[in-house]
Amino acid sequence: GARNSLNNQLGELEGRLADAEAAAMKGGKSAMAKLEMKIRELEAELGSTQSRSGEAAKAFQRAERKAKELAFAQGEDRKNQDRMSELAAKLQMKIKTYKQQIEEAEEIAALNLAKFRKAQQDLEETEERAKLAMVL
C-alpha cells in the first residue's frame, strides 16, 4: 500500500514537473518573442533617428555655408561702402576747391570791372576837358 502510494505521488510529481517544464518553455518562447519584437522596434527607431540626425547635420552644413556667404557679402558691402565714402569725401574736397577758385575769379572780375569803369570815367573826363579846351 505504502509503495503504491509513493509511486502515485511520484507519478503525480513527475506529471506536475512536466507541466511546469512545458509552461516554462511556453513562457520562455513567449518572452523571447516579445524581446525580439522589442529589438526590432528599437532598431527601427534607431534607423529613423539616424536618418533624422543625418538630415539635421546636412541642414546645419547648409546653414553654416549660407552664414559664411552672408558674412563674405557683408564684408564686400562694407569695403564698397568705405570706397564710396572715400570717393564722396574726395569729391567734396574738389567742390570746395572749385568754389574757392570761382570766388577768387569773381573777385578778380569785380576788380577788373572797377578798373575798367574808372578808366572809362577818366577817359570821359579827359574827353570833356579836351572839348572844353577846344571851345576855349
pLDDT 10s digits, 42-69: 999 999 999 999 999 999 999 999 999 9
Nearest Cα residue to 115 out of 123, 126, 125, 103: 123
Q: Residue 73: its pLDDT value, please? A: 97
d(C-alpha 122, C-alpha 48), whole Å: 109
Is residue 136's pLDDT more than 80?
Answer: no
Q: Residue 51: its pLDDT value, please? A: 93
Better pLDDT: 46 or 135: 46
Sign of CA dihedral 57, 59, 60, 65: positive
pLDDT tens profile 76-106: 999 999 999 999 999 999 999 999 999 999 9
Percentage of the chain modeled with pLDDT above 90? 75
Is residue 38's pLDDT more than 80?
Answer: yes
